[in-house]
Amino acid sequence: MSSPHPHLPHYLGAPQWQAPAWNRLLPPGPSPLARYSRVFNCVEGNTTFYATPSQAQCQQWRQQVPDDFRFLFKFPRPISHDRLLAGVDAPVRDFLERLAPLRDVLGPFLVQLPAAFGPEHLDNLWRFADALPPPLTLAVEVRHPAFFQKGEAERALNRGLRERRLARVCLDSRALFSAPPDNDTTLDAQRKKPRLPVHLLPSEAAPVIRYIGHPQLDANRPFLAPWLDRVAAWLDAGARPFLFLHMPDNNEAVALARLWTEMLMTRIPGLAPLPLREAEQPQLGLF
């Protein structure tokens, strides 16, 4: 299938490929994933953190996306959280075998490590990364505080990632935590997402950014603005970053992507807006 994404100079996606509110925004298509992939060119595969799809399901997904689309699947929770990447050869082989129909559209796998994964576990990560069959690769997200203190633990992490040309996932939750916790949706998001410093790792790997937005759409502008400079610089240098946009209520994630793209259009001449449908406005009653 040829590429429908001339409007995207980088990889842009959401943490899922369907939500009820997106039905009125995404272009027509035979399935939610097909509709999503006509606007976005990547997606976070959060579903695999909880359950591994069948080969048949993966084959269906492959038929619904263009060749330049990328899935960034998370390794299952038992691998990353329960076993902290140790003694996982068999479940990793099974996981990769299930995903085999998607091999040509796989981006880096997301290894989201829990706060319990500390400096003493780094050898697990290096063995895990070194055993992954090429050309498959990883993007690693850490949450242990020691990896954000600019000390020896963080230096060891960054050194090992650079040596292997792996990305360190940057989670930017500043916008989310700037919001007052005055509703259940925001409160729930703040409870589930970590509040960590934003640390970027310069490397030869494509950068991976997970941005967690403020529930009020326009309040994201000052938090997105620094990323405009960063993404523009990456693009100028020939890198193609992955940017995933989350909201406390992911019904609003597409609107956030539209806002981001409109902001980026001011920096990149000729960049087109996302090919979204205009949302239908409710008709006003006579009384």
pLDDT band at 7 (very low <50, low <70, confident <90, very high): low
The CATH homologous superfamily of the domain defined by 11-265: Protein of unknown function UPF0759 (3.20.20.410)
3-state secondary structure string across the chain = CCCCCCCCCCEEEECCCCCHHHHHCCCCCCCHHHHHCCCCCEEEECHHHHCCCCHHHHHHHHHCCCCCCEEEEECCHHHHHHCCCCCCHHHHHHHHHHCHHHHHHECCEEEECCCCCCHHHHHHHHHHHHHCCCCCCEEEECCCHHHHCCCHHHHHHHHHHHHCCCEECEEECHHHHHCCCCCHHHHHHHHHCCCCCCCCCCCCCCCEEEEECCCCHHHHHHHHHHHHHHHHHHHHCCCCCEEEEECCCHHHHHHHHHHHHHHHHCCCCCCCCCCCCCCCCCCCCCC
Domain boundaries, the chain: 11-265
Which pLDDT belongs to residue 279?
56
pTM of the model: 0.93
Which pLDDT belongs to residue 284?
44
- Convert the pLDDT of each residue in 146-164 to its tens digit: 999 999 999 999 999 999 9
